[in-house]
Structure 1
């Protein structure tokens, strides 16, 4: 399976969709499992280094981590975070920035299955979740609520979804709650936050 995806990726290395699909499809045990996921992510990262740096390693793991937290066990968190930084250094598209910020904020937040994870897996999750801070402060310039609401869902979920208006409202509420909590020290004396080309800014209440 990995070889077939590598051929597809070679035809269009700038498109992360194929890398994310590889991670989803190789994850089940019958298709390779966690070991194959780690090997495949590294192979694709080497294949696309000129385009993404370490970013392909991150793309291959992205949906796999959302689908199965046990994917954290073999993950090289340092390499994954290097990949995050390489992606945002190359692609400042705010759709992509919202996607990765929401992933760090929501998908990598502590959840009910924490007790079932190994200590290393919990540490890996914590390290990735901590990237929320610099993603928000250094890269988020616009809020795309629909991406945040989609991040609350498992990859590939559907087709019975709430209306677009409900998804946008839910995504906006979720994003602002997370951002306010992360930037609580900035807001402790009142005020609100706004988004601009310079980043997140505080607006004082007059």
Structure 2
């Protein structure tokens, strides 16, 4: 049986979000920045709408048993590298929607303590397994049916793994988790993402590394293949950097090597941005990743990313990351005497030019996620409160950036053509 490797070890403590003050730029926020700053709010962006539509489409087609149509649309989107405006792959979104009902039912059953043979836990996955025998697939669509089923097993495996087993995983849950990863690995064994020219298949094979017996030997090669298949998708680069941390399957030396290597291979698209994307989550979650960080190159990469993708979702992401994600306090894993404080501060200071030169609207959800270091496992109890938290944090940062102007009685207005300032 495949060993589930590091994914079954207690999760290392990720740096805590800033406490006390959420503003990293300066010591004293100016009074009431909301009364001095006008900026359009985008609670629901076009990108979010398109992503929701693709997920809903996948769910609808699965519910209607229109699998031939669903698999054809996934294949077409995958081959076309179709994305939302912010670069979310449509094929991934359709596949996510297709398995949503099964995964949610299983996750609920697991949390409710259902027996292993309870229909609430087994009916959905058994129905998907039966599809492989009942559905007439083609060479174009068969890999995608296997991929959806494999992703479903991975999601259920992670549901058995859970997030709260800091002192080790109980043996019964370990076995169930491993069994789902084993099944997913077997489903994907006949397929190769590079041979199929399929980023979706390649991404799924990268996800299998969490259950592999030799992830350290394969992670760089597998992610290189995925990034080369879909170099415009920066999320693959971020994932590579995250999983190259020592707490997962890599080392700081390999992280540095792959950041430079990725930058070289994607230079025509991202400039030095490939270097920045690979390091992006790694340095936010592990202070040791700063040891080899070339801060000048990372900052140059920020400039190149904005030049390549100047949309406001990207600008908000980078600005929130620099202003809220990177700074540390006493509750974080590096402590205030962080030996990389100067380097960290130089990168964090990029929030100033990102806001002044490129920001034209505010995306509160992105700022809220930045406070949690973009942790996908963070619980969002209320979307409204979560967004309000992001809005408050963003305005505190804006108040710091424009503190001197506000104290002089200036009103700052963000427009599509740049900042407008007037005395009040």
Q: Is the 8 A contact 2:414 2:420 kept in 1?
A: yes
The Cα offsets for residues 157-203 of structure 1, whole Å up to 9 and x where unpaired, read as 42531311111111111001111111111111335433210233335
Structure 1 unmatched ranges of 5 or more: none
Structure with higher Rg: it is 2
Counterparts in 2 of 1:159 and 1:129: CA distance versus 1, 3 Å: closer
User: How far 1:31 sits from its partner (Å)?
Assistant: 1.4
Q: Given the alignment, which residue of 220, 226, 234 partners 1:8?
A: 226
Please name the residue that 1:61 is paired with: 279
CA offsets per residue over residues 98-133 of structure 1, 9 Å max, x none? Answer: 000011101222422344532xx2221011011111
CA contact (8 A) 2:372 2:378 kept: no
Which of 94, 98, 106 is residue 324 of structure 2 equivalent to?
Answer: 106
2:413/2:421 contact within 8 Å kept: yes
Aligned mate of 1:149, from 365, 368, 381: 368
* CA deviations over 1:45-78 (Å, ceiling 9, x no partner): 0110111000010001111122112211210000
**How many angstroms apart in 2 are the aligned matches of 1:202 and 1:30?**
48
Ranked by relative contact order (alpha carbons within 8 Å, sequence separation 6 or more), the top structure is 2
Distance 1:41 1:197 in 2: 33
Q: 1:201 to 1:176 in 2, by over 3 A?
A: farther
Q: 2:392 aligned to 149, 173, 187, which one?
A: 173
Q: Contact between 1:114 and 1:122, CA under 8 Å: does it hold in 2?
A: no
* Rounded Cα–Cα distance in structure 2 between residues aligned with 1:192 and 1:162: 35
Contact 1:70 1:117 in 2 (8 A): no
Select the structure that is richer in helix. 1
1:184–1:50 Cα change, 3 Å: same
- Determine the structure 1 residue equivalent to 2:184: none
Q: TM-score of the superposition, structure 2-length normalised?
A: 0.46
**What is the root-mean-square deviation in Å for CA atoms of aligned residues?**
1.6
Aligned mate of 1:90, from 287, 292, 308: 308
The residue that corresponds to 1:42 in the other structure is 260
For the residues of structure 2 that align with 1:23 and 1:114, how far apart are their CA atoms?
23
Q: Which of 140, 159, 164 does residue 383 from structure 2 map onto?
A: 164
* Of 168-177 and 62-71, the range deviating more from structure 2: 62-71
Mean Cα displacement is larger for which, 39-48 or 64-73? 64-73
Instruction: Give yes or no for the alignment of 1:195 onto 2:414.
Output: yes
Match for residue 250 of structure 2? Answer: 32
Q: TM-score, normalised by structure 1?
A: 0.92
The answer to whether 1:117 aligns with 2:338 is yes
Q: Secondary structure at the match of 1:31?
A: coil
